[in-house]
Structure 1
Amino acid sequence: MIGVRRATGDGGVIAVVGASGAVGRATVRHLGASGGALRLGARRPIEKQTSTTVTRVDVEDPAALHDFCSGAAVVANCAGPSGVVGDRVARVALAVGAHYVDPAGDDRLAALVAPLTAGSDRCAVLSAGMMPGLSGVLPRYLIGTLPTPARWLTGHVGGRDHFSPAGAADYLRADEFGTVHAVWHAGHLVPSAPTGRAASVPFFPEPVLSTPFLSTEAVRIAAATGLTEVRWHSVYADGHLAALLRGAASPDQPTSEALRRAARLDLFGRSPYQVIVVEAGGDDGSARAVALWGRGASELTGAMVAHCASRLRDEGGPPGTHHAADLLDPVATVTAMRHAEAVTRIVEVDSTGGLRVREGTL
């Protein structure tokens, strides 16, 4: 991240809104490991959550938000669901002169936040979670390791994990963040056949259901790097959640509670995990892959929010509204993730294109 304006808040304080939620707790743990002053706020504070007092703050109370954010160098919004919170925290944080970080966002939130940073010296970083966020940083990192310009990219993201209430609500809005059963080819979205059964995918520890899902983040990367073909997939361990999603058809989508219940059943006696696998190759036949294993989506999202917030506090950031994957230095971010508690392993391999999985072969 190229800093042109350092944070100037009260002693470099990072204020975390939604600090008692799954993502908020993970963010606070990662920020605590990196050092620095924290200010924590939540609608329902958890007693003895950390050594830092958690202030009661409701995102629907602009006055309370103003008092909480005032004097902070950076405000990290971990409250959700993102479709409900929208730009409420961003409006207050930027108005009081803080930089802003949000693990959610994508195009709709960016359109709301961009006018708030126009003409100011503040930096707002959106899409700073696991996906979008880390799922965009890894492709950019991988593309940078190829000896020739990348032409194609394949990604698989998912695993066996919890669904928080906010996460389930945001999942049901997935059509705002991408297109199901689509791939990117020669500058256009092209339909892709749905996957009907679970199968083995490289680097995943068990059979998974892999569904083509072309995220808007992946489209932005394709446009920025000149990729001809992008195939992106959401992945779920074979079990109750995969069965629920396999049988779901619009307009009869599963409810938020049904998603959470299926995920809980899948986790009975098991540990949560998330895997991000990205492979890229060039016209010369060279190809490389990078795989990252994490302890869960909330943990990985917390690690990314903490990384972005720390960098903004220490280095500042370019004025305006940015998506994390477009702004962060890929090498520095992957290096930071290698040392993050949320990440269990990262490997890189020369793949010669052998890991690509096309629809119809699963």
Structure 2
Amino acid sequence: MLRIGPLELPTPVVLAPMAGITNVAFRRLCREQGAGLYVCEMITARALVEKHPGTAEMIAFDADEKPRSMQLYGVDPVTIGRAVDRIVDEDLADHVDLNFGCPVPKVTRRGGGAALPFKRRLFGSIVRTAVEAASRGGLPLTVKMRVGIDDDHVTFLDAGRIAADAGAASVALHARTASQRYSGHADWDRITQLRDALPATTPVLGNGDIFAASDAVAMMEKTGCDGVVVGRGCLGRPWLFGELEAALAGRPIPTPPTLGEVAEVMRRHVELLIAHHGHHKGVRDSRKHMSWYLHGFAVGSELRRELGMIDGLDRLDELLARLDPDLPFPADADGPRGRQGSPAHVTLPEGWLDDPEDDTVPAAADVMHSGG
């Protein structure tokens, strides 16, 4: 059992927000497999405040989706506060998370995401403002962050303490720096350090390199963290949440699906995307998922290519019929999925590293965009 403020999660597992992935369709697939907290795509605070046309679709939840979890991005305490006010006043979600972990250049160059915790006073102001706004509606406010900007600018311990002191209901740590992006290996020892540094009353969640249920068990045993956050490991594998639920409850892990069973999930995913986005956008959005679902299966490059170009359910059915339904799930299919990239210099606002106590909001920082 994981308690995040008033929320009680029987399975201590959180689906990480992923841009273009964790929409209502994918979250439904995951929820059908196992219990957890399923977070929607990251929402820009300013877009939410100004009711940007594209935001409504991104914050859609199923009627039976409880708790409804939303992640916000922003660098201005005032805008963040107004965004959380809207969530409370219009009953848009049951939980709000703040993104301080995104390493994408378009975010960090404006001082957002993983760049922001370096500015301790600004970071604290944002978290305190959001906590105060969320508390009006009894919503838990949580924080997700990285180890730091790079090895020379490690921020997670200070940021964790500031967040806990400000009233954050939990703190999640992706155990990589922003400069690592998704390359190399997550340093789980950093999660241990954060767990040891914060009060026992503030849950610490670990994130990074959970590609199988056994990884989650190992992380919790090694670090003492209170729960796990799963991102890339579930791409093309929503049934991972059923495996996580079983493993963390001490039950046998379900037998992985055959290729025929995977094909059924693929089709359902496309159906749900069409229902959410409409036919054209839903089909187009589904294409990127095809290779993830077939990861490790020996199906041939030509069939993979054709599945990545489908124009509708009829064509999808034709191609899925060419798969061997009895093919067992590959033993070596665990491991990284999606783009891993390589370490890179973190793009920051000019002079960003000069003074960590400077709480000036970066100019033009709250531009509207979605991020990852």
Q: Taking CA–CA contacts closer than 8 Å with sequence separation of 6 or more, which of the two structures ends up with the larger relative contact order?
A: 1
**TM-score over 0.5 for the pair:** no
By percentage of residues, which structure has more strand? 1
Q: TM-score scaled to structure 2, two decimals?
A: 0.30
